[in-house]
């Protein structure tokens, strides 16, 4: 089997800002595995927050033996972007080789459309209000926050989208004091969920302060090994393929999280339809789906995912799986 990696850049439709910084493009890695005349592909988004760069992830991928199997891969690389792209490419190869879909291999029904959040980037209140008004027709908005001065932003978004369900992502940007002050207002404004209000590794206060609405672990939850440290602090886990290291571990984490009483959110980095495609299987029946990466792009893959009023649809086989 041959494994190749290419760097691909997708321009964003507009600047995307979170509490850690801004970007104007999505830099991704595309992995292709080829054997017996069949090619499978997968995509990952190396993430600096997890000490990943394009070059470091490429090096991890190219360190793999050419005969690597999906089972062996789980122990060959740690959870992260490199393993994700290879794992998803191997799933794609296996399905194409067998002439079936990935969900057939898994013994699952074909994925149905899932309503996905649409993310509004962090900005000044007036800009966020305008953005919320522009996108108020969407069934779920996700708002990027994470500064000490977020109350005006919250009020502005609610003015712009008075009836739209909202979830909040603080990207580790709040302190326990800031979150405690904001929490009653989040409830008052009808917020359904707050993601990672405190930094991962400095979030013990979540077990001691009131949690009047569900709190979701994002940066604090990577794979099944993360679950013991979340007990008593979080109500929901955000599963992203680039954190779990692929669909294989993501499915196992979903099962384990549900068994331990956690709600499940399926999220994404900012990538193309190829990165989201495997997650449409994972997202079936979860509490929240956030697979809007392609909606934030000015350009996408050939045969992109379909997004409509029913939600995000399963990929065509030409794209993945």
175 with 242, same domain? yes
> Does residue 231 carry a catalytic annotation?
no
Residue range 279-291: average pLDDT?
98
Count of domains in the chain? 2
Taking residue 88's Cβ as centre, other Cβ atoms within 10 Å add up to 31
134 with 25, same domain? no
Containing 154, the helix (H) or strand (E) segment is helix 151-160
**What is the domain range of residue 231?**
118-312
Question: For residue 69, is pLDDT > 90?
Answer: yes
- Domain end (from 38, 69, 103): 103
pLDDT at 259: 98
pTM: 0.96
Percentage of residues in the chain with pLDDT exceeding 90? 95
210 with 302, same domain? yes
Q: Could you please report the per-residue DSSP string of 195-236?
A: E--S-TTS-GGGGTS--SS-EEESTT--SGGGHHHHTTT-SE
Task: Name the pLDDT band for 21 (thresholds 50, 70, 90).
Answer: confident
For residue 265 the two structure tokens come to 């959110």
Tell me whether residue 110 is in a domain.
no
Task: Give CA–CA dist 195/144, Å, rounded.
Answer: 10
Containing 281, the helix (H) or strand (E) segment is helix 279-282
**Cα→Cα distances 227→72, 217, 235, 261, Å:** 23, 10, 11, 11
Which residue of the set 144, 233, 243, 254 is catalytic? 144
pLDDT at 210: 86
228 with 97, same domain? no
Tell me whether residue 127 is in a domain.
yes
Per the annotation, where are the binding residues for Mg(2+)? Answer: 169, 195, 218
Q: What is the CATH number for 70?
A: 3.30.390.10
pLDDT at 93: 98
- Domain end (from 42, 71, 103): 103
279 Cβ partners below 8 Å, 6+ apart? 240, 241, 247, 250, 266, 268, 291
Question: For residue 17, is pLDDT > 90?
Answer: no
- Domain end (from 52, 70, 103): 103
Tell me whether residue 108 is in a domain.
no
| N-terminal to C-terminal alpha carbon distance within the chain | 18
60 with 151, same domain? no
Task: Name the pLDDT band for 45 (thresholds 50, 70, 90).
Answer: very high
pLDDT at 79: 98
94 with 46, same domain? yes
Residue range 223-252: average pLDDT?
98
153 with 261, same domain? yes
Q: What is the CATH number for 261?
A: 3.20.20.120
Residue range 284-296: average pLDDT?
97
306 with 183, same domain? yes
151 with 175, same domain? yes
Tell me whether residue 164 is in a domain.
yes
Question: Of 191, 246, 203, whose CA–CA distance to 224 is shortest?
Answer: 246
Task: Give CA–CA dist 170/186, Å, rounded.
Answer: 12
- What's the angle, vertex CA 245, arms to CA 147 and CA 116, rounded to 5? 55
The residue whose two tokens read 């122990």 is 75
Residue range 260-278: average pLDDT?
98
Residue range 212-230: average pLDDT?
97
224 with 160, same domain? yes
> Does residue 192 carry a catalytic annotation?
no
Convert the pLDDT of each residue in 150-175 to its tens digit: 999 999 999 999 999 999 999 999 99
Count of alpha carbons within 13 Å of 262, Cβ hemisphere only? 30
Residue range 85-99: average pLDDT?
98
Tell me whether residue 192 is in a domain.
yes
Question: Of 199, 201, 200, 240, whose CA–CA distance to 223 is shortest?
Answer: 240
Question: For residue 233, is pLDDT > 80?
Answer: yes
Tell me whether residue 125 is in a domain.
yes
Percentage of residues in the chain with pLDDT exceeding 70? 100
The residue whose two tokens read 């004091």 is 177
Task: Give CA–CA dist 55/81, Å, rounded.
Answer: 12
Look up residue 246 and give its DSSP letter: S
155 with 83, same domain? no
Q: What is the dihedral of CA 212, 213, 218, 220, to 10 degrees?
A: 20
Convert the pLDDT of each residue in 179-205 to its tens digit: 999 999 999 999 999 999 999 999 999
169 with 126, same domain? yes
Tell me whether residue 317 is in a domain.
no
pLDDT at 296: 96
Task: Name the pLDDT band for 20 (thresholds 50, 70, 90).
Answer: confident
Per the annotation, where are the binding residues? Answer: 169, 195, 218
Tell me whether residue 319 is in a domain.
no
pLDDT at 109: 97
Task: Give CA–CA dist 22/15, Å, rounded.
Answer: 7
Question: For residue 19, is pLDDT > 80?
Answer: no
Which residue of the set 96, 142, 233, 240 is catalytic? 240
Task: Give CA–CA dist 76/79, Å, rounded.
Answer: 10
**Cα→Cα distances 183→74, 193, 209, Å:** 39, 10, 10
Question: For residue 244, is pLDDT > 80?
Answer: yes
């Amino acid at each position: 089997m041959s494994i190749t990696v290419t760097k691909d850049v997708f321009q964003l439709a507009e600047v995307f800002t979170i509490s850690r910084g801004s970007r104007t493009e999505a830099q991704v890695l595309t992995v292709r595995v080829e054997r017996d005349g069949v090619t499978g592909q997968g995509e990952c988004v190396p993430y600096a927050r997890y000490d990943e760069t394009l070059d470091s992830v490429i090096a991890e991928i190219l360190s793999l033996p050419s005969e690597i199997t999906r089972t062996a891969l789980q122990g060959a690389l740690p959870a992260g972007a490199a393993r994700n792209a290879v794992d998803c490419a191997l799933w794609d190869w296996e399905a194409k080789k067998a002439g079936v879909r990935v969900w057939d291999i898994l013994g699952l029904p074909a994925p149905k459309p899932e309503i996905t959040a649409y993310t509004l980037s962090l900005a000044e209140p007036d800009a966020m209000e305008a953005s919320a008004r522009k996108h108020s027709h969407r069934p779920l908005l996700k708002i990027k926050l994470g500064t000490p001065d977020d109350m005006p932003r919250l009020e502005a978004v609610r003015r712009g989208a008075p009836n739209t369900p909202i979830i909040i992502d603080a990207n580790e940007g709040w302190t326990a004091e800031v979150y405690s002050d904001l929490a009653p207002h989040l409830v008052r404004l009808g917020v359904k969920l707050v993601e990672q209000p405190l930094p991962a590794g400095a979030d013990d206060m979540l077990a001691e302060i009131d949690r009047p609405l569900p709190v979701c672990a994002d940066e604090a939850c990577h794979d099944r090994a993360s679950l013991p440290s979340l007990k008593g602090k979080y109500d929901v886990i955000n599963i992203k393929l680039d954190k779990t290291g692929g669909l294989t571990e993501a499915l196992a984490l979903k099962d384990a999280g549900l068994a331990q009483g956690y709600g499940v959110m399926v999220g994404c980095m900012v990538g193309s339809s190829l990165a989201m495609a495997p997650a449409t299987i994972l997202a079936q029946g979860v509490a929240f789906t956030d697979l809007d990466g392609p909606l934030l792009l000015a350009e996408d893959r050939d045969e992109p995912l379909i997004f409509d009023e029913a939600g995000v649809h399963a990929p065509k086989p030409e794209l993945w799986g």
